[in-house]
Every structure is written in structure tokens, then in C-alpha cells.
Amino acid sequence: MAADPYRDLIPAELWRHFAALTRIPRCSGKERAAREHVRAVADSVGAPFIEDARGNALIRAPARLAADGDRAVVAVQTHLDMVCESAPGVEHDFDHDPIRVRREGDALYACGTTLGADNGIGVAAALALLSDRELACGPLELLFTVEEEIGLFGAMAFDAAQLQARWLLNLDSEDDRALTCGSAGGAEVTVRLPIALERPPEASVFLQLAVKGLKGGHSGAQIHEPRANAIKLLASVLERMLETGVELRVAAIEGGSAHNAIPRAAVARLCVAEATLEQSRAVASEAIAELERAWRSDEPELAIELGALQGPPPLVEQPAGSRALLRLLAELPHGVLAMSPSFAGVVESSANLALVRTAERTAEIVISARSISEQALSEIASQVQQIAGEAGADAELTGGYPAWQPRADSPLLAAAARAYERVHGRRPRIEVVHGGLECGVLLAKRPDMEAVSFGPLIKEAHTPQEHVCIPTVASTWQLLVELLEELSAAG
């Protein structure tokens, strides 16, 4: 029998709640069971539970033990959903199967899937604040939002006027060495290219080109790292074939899994004229070899495979339409577009070519843009619209959220820094992150509030290699308790 991965971990109450969450399906948009678990914890301590129409949950917990009296209300905010990704060859039903957790040294991983430490550790910490009967703290508002990972939709729907607190502690950061005081805003652009499918010509050969084995990663956290985009690699091989005269017709292209994940895999189904089969294989092999050499050190598991397509012959796009689709995928932006002039090493603006799907009449492509600058976001969206228009496609702004502008003079940030120094014996790094945080959405509705975000060290979020550093969970909990004590005493 496998050893208990949670054995002897502290704080025990936090880990008890995290273990429970790993047994509850909670992909984005499917948080009902997780929300009911939160409700059960609230009921067990007699705390009022409020659910809004979107499915967000708000719990109001009164001051307890030595903290009773006239104390300031503090809001603690997390999100219930997780990114649901599994490694190639791993079969996992995220709607029903629990996450299988394993422990390696000082880290917790899942077995072949995302772990859900983002933001399960934050949710577990908030629940521990509620259920730890020995904890002395002032009155709390515990906010659990939904659908964060697919566009911060829960936070955008939440009525922030319900909050009585003027301080907001967000527990959705992933670096225990830092306190976050600002984050990028986002804009999602969906490009739709009309396609016309027809029966393939006589004497056609059907092939499948697959790109797999990439690291992927969070497009807010790892976009600046040397990580390949599977959609871009796929398009580059197919474009090389077209450039060398191969008569290529696309039947379907699929790539990417979420708007905020760098695509790890992509696949194209296509046909070529039988007379050009050997040429097709030779050109593709050369292009594949060049890409694998170029990415060998940064993407050691990269595999690009061209093989025969199994099954009945599919309908295919006309040659002009195939060229237009591949050119569009090649020209749409991906990666870092600008670095911050104010924060060293911080990405100011980026684009993630996140998703492509073809259907009977349309190819749909999603670009997720991020920037701390609203003007830059608008310019990226305009650039995508221009590229789309030149290809004969439409581009629609289908999602977005505001940036969280940093406040260097924030009393809350100063209090968090003091608490951090008491726990760690050193000053924290103060940072603005490129990933989107719900603080920006909530503060846009309540500009009188201040916010700070922190959390344990979580690496490879949004990938099957996601893991959390166990010792940093304990120190993050200590920071949370220390900060709550100082804030509640401030009155």
C-alpha cells in the first residue's frame, strides 16, 4: 500500500482540507461539488454561507477567542476551480476521478495529471481559518470564486459591494519569496476563419502530423521562458511543405487546451497527392529534424511525427483555404511582446496562441493577450484583428479583465511586508506579475479596497508536472496568521 502523502505535514488542518479537495472534481465551470464542500465546512462551524447566481461563495466568520471585540473585517479570497490536464497516455476522468497525490521529498505531485495546488492550497488555507477552533482572529469574509482559470468569470460576476472589508488577501500566488501588489490585465480574441470542405481529389494519400511532448505551462508565468508552442511548430512544418510545392489540403487541425496554457500538443489531418507523397515525407522529415535540433535542450521530450491517417477518408479544405489557415497560424503573435520598463525582468505584454479547432465551416483560433498597460492590450487586439482581416477572417474580443495597478504606498502592503519579515527573517520581494489575478477585477469594483497576494511555491502550474513545495505551505500559513493578527488589531 502506498504511503500516505500527507503524513506528518503541517499545518495539519490545512492539509486535511487539501486532501479532501483532491477527491472532489472541480474543473472550471464544474465547481458545484467543491462549493458544497465549502458549504459543509461553513455549516459545521455555524458560519453564514451565501451563494450568488454565478456560483461564487461568501462566508462571514465572526471574531473568535481572544480576538473578539471591535476588530477590522478582513477578506480572504481564493478560487475553487483548477486546470484539468493529464499527461500523454494517462487516462483520467476529471469529472469523476479523484486526483492521485504522490510525495517526492519536499514536494507533492499528482500521478500524471495537474495537482490542483493552484488554487487548492489557497482554498484549503481559507477553510482552515474557518475550521481551526484554536485560531484567534478577527472577523473574516472568505470569498471562493469560480471559473477563474477560464477568464476570471466568477470574480467579474461577483457583487463586490457585499464585502465589508477594506483589506483583501488573495491566496493565489505561487512564489513564497514575494508579495504581489499588481498584475496584468487580459484580453481574449477569438479569430474565426470560414472554411469550405470538399471531397478529396482522386489519388490522394491521407496523413496525420502530430506534435507532442512539450512542457506547456501557464501563459502568465512561463511565457518568457524558452518553451515551444505546439500550434506554431505544427504550422511551420505544414508551411514548409507548401513552400516546396507539395499539394497539401488540410482536413482538420486541433491544438491547445486552455486560453491560459501554452499549447503542449497539436495535430493536423491532411491529404497530399499520391504523386507527391515521397516529396512530402522528405520535406516534413527535414523540417521536423530542424525543429527537434533547435529545441533539443529546452524541450527534450518534443516529438513530431508524420504518419498514415487511419479511418475513412475525411473531407478536406481547398488548397487556397489550407494556405490561408496555415499563414494565419504562422502570422498570429505568440510570446513576449514587451518587457516592463518599471519592474526588472517582468513581462509587460505578451500573447499566447492558445487554441485552434476546425469544424465543418469554421476554423476557430483563440489568442490570449496580457499586459499591465490597457493601451498595449488594445494595440495587441488591433494587431490580431488586422492579421485576421488580411486572411479573410473575423476577430472578436471575447473576454478580458482589468489590470491590478500597483500602489507603492499601500498600508496593507507595508503590513504584509512586516509580517513576512517576522516569519522569514528577511524582507520579501515586492513584485507585479504577468499572470492575471482576481484582485484587479475586485478592486475595479471597490477602488476603496487594498489588496495583496501571496502563496507557497508552486511550480509547473497548469501542467501534469505541477507540484507544491511542502515547507513553503507552512510558512505561508504562518504569514497569513501573522498578517491577520496585525490587521484585525488595527481596527
* Domain end point (choices 357, 376, 401): 401
Among residues 486, 427, 456, which one has the least CA distance to residue 175? 456
Domain match, 132 and 230 both: no
Residues pairing with 376 in the sheet: none
Note the helical H segments in 46-186.
Answer: 117-131, 153-157
Q: Which domain holds residue 179?
A: 12-184+404-490
7 part of a folded domain: no
236 part of a folded domain: yes
Per-residue pLDDT at 491 = 58
111 part of a folded domain: yes
* Domain end point (choices 401, 436, 453): 401
Catalytic residue among 13, 31, 81, 460: 81
- DSSP letter (8 states) at residue 461: T
CA distances 150 to 4, 219, 241, 374, 441, Å, are 32, 12, 35, 20, 14
Residue 175 annotated in active site: no
pTM, rounded to two decimals? 0.81
Distance CA 461, CA 457 (A): 10
- Give the pLDDT confidence of 289-318 residue by residue, as tens digits: 999 999 999 999 999 999 999 989 999 999
CATH number of the domain enclosing 358: 3.30.70.360
Bridge-based pairing state of the strands 74-79 and 167-170? parallel
Domain match, 127 and 235 both: no
Domain match, 375 and 446 both: no
Question: % helix / strand / coil in the chain, to the nearest 5?
Answer: 30, 30, 40
Per-residue pLDDT at 130 = 96
Note the helical H segments in 245-276.
Answer: none
Which helix (H) or strand (E) segment holds residue 180: the answer is strand 178-183
Concatenated DSSP letters of 51-68: E-TTS-EEEEE--BGGG-
Per-residue pLDDT at 2 = 67
5 part of a folded domain: no
Note the helical H segments in 318-452.
Answer: 319-331, 374-390, 411-424, 438-445
Distance CA 87, CA 463 (A): 8
Domain match, 432 and 385 both: no
Per-residue pLDDT at 333 = 97
Which helix (H) or strand (E) segment holds residue 230: the answer is helix 230-243
Per-residue pLDDT at 375 = 92
Domain match, 216 and 290 both: yes
| Amino acid at residue number 439 | C
Concatenated DSSP letters of 231-277: HHHHHHHHHHHHHTT--EEEEEEEE-S-TTB----EEEEEEEEGGGH
4 part of a folded domain: no
Domain match, 195 and 139 both: no
Per-residue pLDDT at 1 = 44
Distance CA 367, CA 154 (A): 21
Domain match, 339 and 420 both: no
The C-alpha R_g of the chain, in whole angstroms, comes to 24
| Amino acid at residue number 388 | A
Domain match, 96 and 157 both: yes
60 part of a folded domain: yes
Domain match, 218 and 304 both: yes
* Domain end point (choices 386, 401, 416): 401
Residue 298 annotated in active site: no
- Give the pLDDT confidence of 96-124 residue by residue, as tens digits: 999 999 999 999 999 999 999 999 999 99
Find the angle CA(366)-CA(368)-CA(370) to the nearest 5 degrees. 165
Distance CA 138, CA 320 (A): 66
Distance CA 275, CA 187 (A): 45
Domain match, 54 and 67 both: yes
Burial class (CB in 10 A: 0-12, 13-18, 19+), 297: exposed
| The dihedral formed by the CA atoms of 377, 382, 383 and 384, expressed in degrees to the nearest 10 | 90
CATH number of the domain enclosing 117: 3.40.630.10
Distance CA 284, CA 360 (A): 26
2 part of a folded domain: no
Residue entry with cell 507539395? 246
38 part of a folded domain: yes
Query: Which residues, including other chains, have CB under 8 Å from residue 263's CB and lie 6 or more apart?
Result: 214, 216, 229, 230, 231, 255, 256, 257, 353, 354, 355
Catalytic residue among 31, 85, 132, 148: 148
The total of structural domains in the chain comes to 2
Domain match, 191 and 176 both: no
Quick check: 167 and 216 in contact, CB under 8 A?
no
C-alpha cell at 58: 461568501
Quick check: 351 and 336 in contact, CB under 8 A?
no
Domain match, 412 and 343 both: no
**Low-confidence stretches of the chain (pLDDT beneath 50):** 1, 67
